[in-house]
Amino acid sequence: MKRYLVKPGEKVDLSKWDPSDTGDFKGGKKEGFAEIAKLNEKLEALQELLYAEHKHKVLVVLQAMDTGGKDGVIRRVFDGVNPQGVRVASFKIPTQEELDHDYLWRVHKVTPGSGQMVIFNRSHYEDVLVVRVHNLVPSDVWKKRFDQINQFERLLAENGTTIIKFYLHINLDEQKERLQARLDEPDKNWKFSLGDLKERKLWPDYMQAYEEVLSKTSTNHAPWYIVPANRKWYRDLVISSILVDTLESLKMEFPKSEESLDGIMIE
């Protein structure tokens, strides 16, 4: 899955990344689901180990255009993990209290503690994406945020947080199909918003903004992965594989009992 890693300093051109790619996986959807099920079992076990060891912290960042599949990833990839050790944080329009602080204040307070995995559904990157595209702050303000975000993530990493960032890459045609499905299927109507159509018109601006984010903020301590997301099953397979590989690399162990358990009998 390293093919989807954005190397530090790499200049990203999203038009060269195929959102319908399935890599070397030729088994199709049915075989893909079987592989995802195996990976999910591994992820469950590794997350339990993370929680028990109470040493590492894991932050998973999900970013995408509307309909990109962030909610779907959370439902499917993390299906079955222990909710005691996993939390989802979503970032909507800032409250007045949040606006009264620096833009990273609301982010820092929901980062993971020891033994925890936190999933950001959108993130601090909204402050160099939406803010930029909609001209909510001057360019000289948001341009400084790339270095600030890199420093913030380095602070987290140096204090024991493993950071994995996923950009779910779909194309304009796929978004059209998914938005149309929200209109056509009654049980999906609640997902549709007229605001989605306004944002869709800004697609080129968002692509330019994402390209700069991916180019400037993929680091060794907080890498970005560009995940082909037109095919939902392959999207989930890629993310599951990267998560399992990353957690296995932490070399975690269950803690030893504080007392000897030899000779204890339960009556």
Q: Which of 125, 135, 141 is nearest to 205 (CA)?
A: 135
Give the separation between CA 241 and CA 139, rounded to whole angstroms. Answer: 37
pLDDT of 132:
97
pLDDT band at residue 28 using 50, 70 and 90 as cut-offs: confident
Q: Identify whether 265 is part of a domain.
A: no
3-state secondary structure 197-246: HHHHCCHHHHHHHHHHHHHHHCCCCCCEEEEECCCHHHHHHHHHHHHHHH
Q: Identify whether 256 is part of a domain.
A: no
Q: Identify whether 98 is part of a domain.
A: yes
pLDDT of 256:
84
Q: Identify whether 159 is part of a domain.
A: yes
pLDDT of 265:
75
Total number of domains constituting the chain: 1
Residue 180 sits in which domain range? 2-248
Give the separation between CA 147 and CA 145, rounded to whole angstroms. Answer: 5
pLDDT band at residue 250 using 50, 70 and 90 as cut-offs: very high
pLDDT of 25:
82
Q: Identify whether 264 is part of a domain.
A: no
Average confidence (pLDDT) over 18-44: 92
Average confidence (pLDDT) over 40-60: 97
pLDDT band at residue 92 using 50, 70 and 90 as cut-offs: confident
Q: Identify whether 261 is part of a domain.
A: no
Give the separation between CA 3 and CA 35, rounded to whole angstroms. Answer: 19
pLDDT of 73:
97
CATH of the domain at 173: 3.40.50.300
Q: Identify whether 257 is part of a domain.
A: no
**CB-based burial, 173-202: b 16+ in 10 Å, e otherwise:** ebbeebbeebeeeeeeeebbeeebeebbee
pLDDT of 165:
98
Q: Identify whether 267 is part of a domain.
A: no
DSSP string of 158-180, one letter each residue: HTTEEEEEEEEE--HHHHHHHHH
Average confidence (pLDDT) over 164-169: 98
pLDDT band at residue 266 using 50, 70 and 90 as cut-offs: confident
